Structure 1
Amino acid sequence: MSSVDVLIPNYNYGRYLRACADSVLSQDIDDLRLLIIDNASTDDSAQVAREIAARDPRVELRLRRENLGPHSSFNEGIDWAQSDYFLLLFADDFLVPGALRRAAAVMDREADVAFTYGRDVAIEGDASIPDIDPQPVDVPYRLHRSRAFIERFCRLGVFQIPGPSIVIRTSVQKRAGYYRTELPHSDDYDLWLRLALHGSIAELDCIQAGIRSHGANRSSELRTRQIMHILHTAEAAECFFTHEGRDMPDGAYLRRLARRGIAERAYWSAVSHIQRGEPGAMELLKLAFRLRPQTAILPPLGYLLRRPDTMRRIKKSLSIGKMPDIRMA
């Protein structure tokens, strides 16, 4: 079995840190290391981290006296990583049993795979990690070739990937480099695009991780979250195609395609806001028209056909007697 390094960056998530670390340390991987970097938390995080390290020699700690920002933690973890595979896991999220073994098995088998990802389960607030049905041992998976993966992002204007489930080949992570500090809110999108330049991506047909939603990490104001997320996505795309993506054989075409996908996503998000009577529709429409003026004349119906979740959203809305909710997350 290959080796895996896991980084948990933490700031004031002491109430979640133990459960997150336990979800890593209980993985059925023989060669496993865990690094917890605490960014000068003001809660009991440092003490919780010390207790975790005291009972398991696989745990290393970096307890900072000064908050250097999240990117410093992410990039220090990349420098620290030396095993075959690498995972960055936020302290309020968790891994599903067997997740690392399943990811490693696929990457051991597929030498061209840059990273793997799977599905996620969501929990709210301070709820305990739920019992999750055992996932397949020999998990089915789908390979996405490098360019096809990047083009799919461009056409949709969004990644539909649970970040905590992403296990990366460490050698690829080293080549792709650091998280960019100039992208404080969409650095992950930019990095996933850069990683995809170095190989295929394996999508595992199983639950790999859990994502916790709570007030400290999710905006409660939908208008701000939607338009800001779309703007941040546009920033990540522009950054990628200004740098590494520029050298792709059809980089200019893909850059235009990304602007179109992001504009069409903004358009349908605006429509969804109108359906639900929520504020923010005009800002989203203005963004759509700025990025792609054609949307002011002709609704981009083709975008709905490209979204794999369109029919699910429509069926769900119809089943409860509401207008179809086609919000583009």
Structure 2
Amino acid sequence: MKSIDVVIPNYNYAQYLQDCVDSVRSQPAERLRILIIDNASTDDSAVIARTLASADPRIELMLRPRNLGAHASFNDGIDWAQSDYFLILCSDDYLAPGALARAMSFMEENDDVHLTHGRTHFRADATDGDHLPDTPLLSDWSKQDGKSFLTSLCQSGRNFVSGPTVIVRTAIQKKAGYYKPALPHTDDLEMWLRFALHGAVGRTDNIQAVARVHASNQSATVRTLEQWSVEFEAAFRSFFENDGAILPEAEALLRQARDALSERAYWSAIAQICRGEPGATALMRHAIRLRPSAAWLPPFRYLLNRSDASALIGRSAKALGRRLGTSMTSGGRL
């Protein structure tokens, strides 16, 4: 029988913890272990965790006397894992029914696939019910070799893999190593890049997890596009300066990632200028730092890849014209 280990890191999410654990232990997995790692929560998390563990022998606890941070929990989970498959599921998220079985079945049928991911449904904290489909899609899996997957991430300049849905082979996770504390917001992206060095990736169109959207989300602390762009660049740079340095095309792939980030930042800055929003100057400087040629040659390729490119260019030109006319009339500066 194939087995799976699920690590549930938690800090002050007592109100979510039971739902998260219940979504895991209700999965039709043949052999399942759950480790709740609590980072010295000041709410009732430890009490709830002890109650859950006392009622289910599959649940183990690691209750820290002090907060060591999320990365310590992720990496202790990697050390603890010993089953065939492995998942890190933060306690404010939860699994969709059948998620584990779908992923493990696909990896059983494709032994070159070491990482699977799917869709996440984002649920606002104040809403009732998750509105998940009653019947999962059939035959919806696709497979991408590691090199193509890595290239896709670089060309997009973003993280299109949803963390709560990622189920991996434990043996490959141990080869890939630990999450990096130096990347507080994009450590997962850097990890996916490392997995791409080891084999193929599977993706399903099924909803595999539900992520709660609330004010305490870790991602909520990154408030601007410039900040996110800096975080993404750090993940790509970290990978290609370390594990990814073995790739003969490492420099070109990093250039692709930086170009993609620059293009998005450039046109976002233009949009902010058109709308009269603050932060456009800093974002434009960031775009030019990533791709110096953007200072004299706008990256039109980014717009031309969009179906609404003509309309966007037209609206941007009109808005910039109005802004320029207003500035010249008032003697101000753009």
Distance apart, 1:127 and its partner CA: 3.6
Report what 1:42 is aligned to: 42
5 Å matches for 1:24-173? 24-136=24-136, 138-173=138-173
Q: TM-score, normalised by structure 1?
A: 0.89
1:257 aligns with 2:248: no
Q: Distance in 2 between matches of 1:156 and 1:135?
A: 31
Q: Which has the larger radius of gyration?
A: 2
Aligned residue identity for 1:117: H
5 Å matches for 1:247-286? 247-274=246-273, 276-286=275-285
CA pair 221-159 structure 1, distance change in 2 beyond 3 A? closer
Distance apart, 1:125 and its partner CA: 1.9
Distance apart, 1:220 and its partner CA: 6.1
Q: Distance in 2 between matches of 1:261 and 1:203?
A: 23
Q: Distance in 2 between matches of 1:87 and 1:219?
A: 20
Aligned to 2:224, the other structure's residue is in SS state helix
Q: Distance in 2 between matches of 1:56 and 1:25?
A: 9
Distance apart, 1:270 and its partner CA: 2.2
Distance apart, 1:274 and its partner CA: 3.8
Do the aligned partners of 2:137 and 2:205 also contact (CA within 8 Å) in 1?
Answer: no
RMSD: 2.2
Aligned to 2:130, the other structure's residue is in SS state coil
Distance apart, 1:158 and its partner CA: 0.4
Q: Distance in 2 between matches of 1:225 and 1:19?
A: 31
Distance apart, 1:280 and its partner CA: 2.0
**144-153 or 230-239, which deviates more:** 144-153
1:184 aligns with 2:164: no
Do the aligned partners of 2:185 and 2:219 also contact (CA within 8 Å) in 1?
Answer: no
Aligned residue identity for 1:228: Q
CA pair 220-184 structure 1, distance change in 2 beyond 3 A? closer
**265-274 or 70-79, which deviates more:** 265-274
Q: Distance in 2 between matches of 1:24 and 1:294?
A: 49
Do the aligned partners of 1:102 and 1:139 also contact (CA within 8 Å) in 2?
Answer: no
Report what 1:3 is aligned to: 3
Aligned to 1:179, the other structure's residue is in SS state coil
Per-residue CA deviations over 1:118-159 (Å, capped at 9, x if unaligned) read 011111124444231134364411111111111111111101
Distance apart, 1:232 and its partner CA: 0.6
Report what 2:330 is aligned to: none
Report what 2:13 is aligned to: 13
Report what 2:224 is aligned to: 225
Say how many residue pairs are matched: 313
Q: Distance in 1 between matches of 2:299 and 2:134?
A: 41
Q: Distance in 2 between matches of 1:221 and 1:60?
A: 31
Q: Distance in 1 between matches of 2:33 and 2:60?
A: 8
Q: Distance in 2 between matches of 1:230 and 1:44?
A: 36
Aligned to 1:258, the other structure's residue is in SS state helix
**293-302 or 242-251, which deviates more:** 293-302
Q: Distance in 2 between matches of 1:12 and 1:55?
A: 21
Aligned residue identity for 2:114: A
Report what 2:22 is aligned to: 22
Q: Distance in 1 between matches of 2:26 and 2:102?
A: 14
Distance apart, 1:228 and its partner CA: 1.2
Q: Distance in 2 between matches of 1:220 and 1:179?
A: 20
Q: Distance in 2 between matches of 1:218 and 1:79?
A: 23
Aligned residue identity for 1:44: D
Do the aligned partners of 2:120 and 2:210 also contact (CA within 8 Å) in 1?
Answer: yes
Aligned residue identity for 1:262: L
Report what 1:327 is aligned to: none
Aligned-residue sequence identity (percent) comes to: 47
Per-residue CA deviations over 1:20-62 (Å, capped at 9, x if unaligned) read 1111111111211111000000111101111111221111110
Aligned residue identity for 1:159: N
Distance apart, 1:303 and its partner CA: 2.6
Q: Distance in 1 between matches of 2:274 and 2:105?
A: 45
